[in-house]
A and B are shown apart, each in its own frame.
Chain A
Amino acid sequence: MRPPAPSAASSSSYSQREPRPENPLLLLPSSRVTKLSLGCPLLDRLLSGGLPAASVTEIAGESATGKTQLCLQLALLAPQSPLSASSLFLHSDLPFPLHRLRRLAPKSRPDILDHVLVAAAHSPTDLLSLLARAQRLLANPGRSPHRLPIRLILLDSVASLFRADFDASPADLRRRSALFFQISAKLKELAYRHQCVVVVTNQVVDVLEGGAGNTVAWSSGRRVSPALGIAWANCVNTRLFLTREVDRDGASGGARRRMKVAFAPHLPERYCEFVIRRDGVFGVEPAERLERLECAGGLRSSYIYQHH
């Protein structure tokens, strides 16, 4: 007979006990909540249901492509979703966009901000100590009974953490690389032991030549790739690439935005178009966007399109 899965609280004594295999049948979606919806059926369809728990998903893109907006949206969706969770929002860009969070929060749920924990990370070592504290929080949910258990961890952005303090010398790149693996291992451990959804945003850098099929994309007329190189790419399970293209006809109304699955263990490489509105990030069918542009005379109609 197959023994049951190891419990979350046993992390400290895990290596002292005999390892036990898990039965993959018990990991099937019917047996537990494993995905966090993005709040939009089109984006959820792109991701086969939403963002997976026990996994690290990266959202990479130029600035103002919707990364932070998506993170804020997810933090507000988590308490209302089947995941029924609080979120831990770790930000390295200052200040935390509190006004945007407040604006996105539903008026019907004034308590919802109680379920968003925010902490600033100023450096990689800072982040590691924050994750150690998070581990204690996650292992002792009973200590904060007024708050839902944390099951969503957001890091916005990983690239900013590594801007200073590192040159391009081989020694520094090795040192930086080692930190990627340390951070990723910690995030993945938290994700697995506590069935958390982990989202990390990343910036992009220009690439002149080379680059494999799934790591390079065109955005705003630039050929770009997610920052932090192949080392960091090895540290995430799923990579989502947000790109924008200015409409060829020059109409100011239409930045064509795409969310593309660059790689994922469970998803084919495909993309979905989306828009950024005051009330969040939503997928659109390409035809709808064009229709709306015609009707509204080429102004920023994507912002006033009634989606639901």
Chain B
Amino acid sequence: MGEQSGAQNAWDMLSDEQSQKHTTTGSGDLNDILGGGIHCKEVTEIGGVPGVGKTQLGIQLAINVQIPVEYGGLGGKAVYIDTEGSFMVERVYQIAEGCIRDILEHFPQSHEKSSSGQKQLQPEHFLADIYYFRICSYTEQIAVINYLEKFLGEHKDVRIVVIDSVTFHFRQDFEDLALRTRVLSGLSLKLMKIAKTYNLAVVLLNQVTTKFTEGSFQLTLALGDSWSHSCTNRVILYWNGNERYACLDKSPSLPVASAPYAVTGKGIRDAVSSNHKRARVT
């Protein structure tokens, strides 16, 4: 209510924060450094080298957002905007199966068929609740993001929007680089507004590039200058030897921290070396 009048007092903001929920990543360690998981009303950028698990995490979140409320989840639907063709349905199916197995393990009293009106714990139902957009150019990407506001107004049960990846189509040669920066800034503002207006999480997967700065090549997130100010949170996925790690690099309230994670047949889970006894569903 406070938002609609344009001004909020501190009490409104506090109760707002409590109504904000988060989506579990599948890894307890990763959830811990993120303050519970990926937050609604916020834009989270997740970057990393090819093969480190960005798409795996994106798909895991698109599945986990659907975990029914009675099992501690958001019970929402997902929008997945695939710009690179990494969304492989057989893998999404596997990750859905893994999530359902963990739910049933955690809540042994539940059956696959829950009471009427509630989501059935079948992989097909999880697949069907992902609104999947495949785009092939930057103009299509702009069109989809512009269309999102209308779409989300008609589908109020969406609680996460994943864009995989957000910069791929902007890394070609642009004759007018200033235009590219303006377009990207416009998109990022729009996504921020969408996150807040529709109370959902926006997750932007990004690639890593080598940038020539101060006389040497360094790894950095692609088109970082255009995005860095407009994301609420930034997570970097990286290799430490043969182990995968995530580092929370930017957050309004949480400290910079790293945690290991694993990509398993069931999806994103705690690393073998983790202290968490088993994957938490919520």
Contact = CB atoms under 8 A, between A and B. Distances in A.
B51 A15 contact: no
A187 B84 CA distance: 11
Nearest to A170: B212
A106 interface: no
B257 interface: no
Interface in B12-59: 49-52, 55-56
Interface in B131-188: 131-137, 139-140, 143-144, 147, 151, 168-169, 171-173
A109 interface: no
A18 B88 contact: no
Nearest to A169: B212
Nearest 7 pairs between A and B by C-beta? A263-B51, A266-B88, A21-B131, A178-B173, A266-B91, A212-B239, A189-B136
A230 interface: yes
Contact of B168 (A24, A52, A234, A262): A234
A213 B242 CA distance: 6
Nearest to A49: B90
A28 interface: yes
B207 interface: yes
Chain A interface size band reads 35 or more
Contacts of A192: 85, 134, 136
A11 B140 CA distance: 10
Contacts of B127: 23-25, 28
Contacts of B84: 188, 237
Given A192-B134, A263-B51, A177 B86 contact: no
B227 interface: no
Contacts of A236: 50
Contact of A214 (B51, B88, B131): B51
B264 to A, nearest CB: 9
A170 B214 CA distance: 12
B210 interface: yes
Contact of A265 (B56, B144, B212, B242): B56
B282 to A, nearest CB: 24
Given A182-B173, A263-B50, A268 B265 contact: yes
B198 interface: no
Residue of B130, B136, B207 with most partner-chain A CB within 10 A: B136
Contacts of B151: 21
A213 to B, nearest CB: 5
Given A24-B127, A24-B130, 6 more contacts: A25-B127, A28-B89, A185-B169, A188-B85, A215-B49, A215-B50
Interface string B223-234: 000000000000
Contacts of B222: 234
Interface string A92-129: 00000000000000000000000000000000000000
A48 interface: yes
B85 A230 contact: no
26 contacts: A19-B135, A21-B132, A22-B134, A23-B132, A24-B132, A25-B128, A52-B88, A56-B85, A175-B173, A177-B209, A182-B173, A185-B136, A185-B172, A192-B85, A192-B134, A212-B49, A212-B51, A213-B239, A213-B241, A215-B49, A230-B219, A231-B209, A233-B50, A233-B51, A237-B85, A263-B50
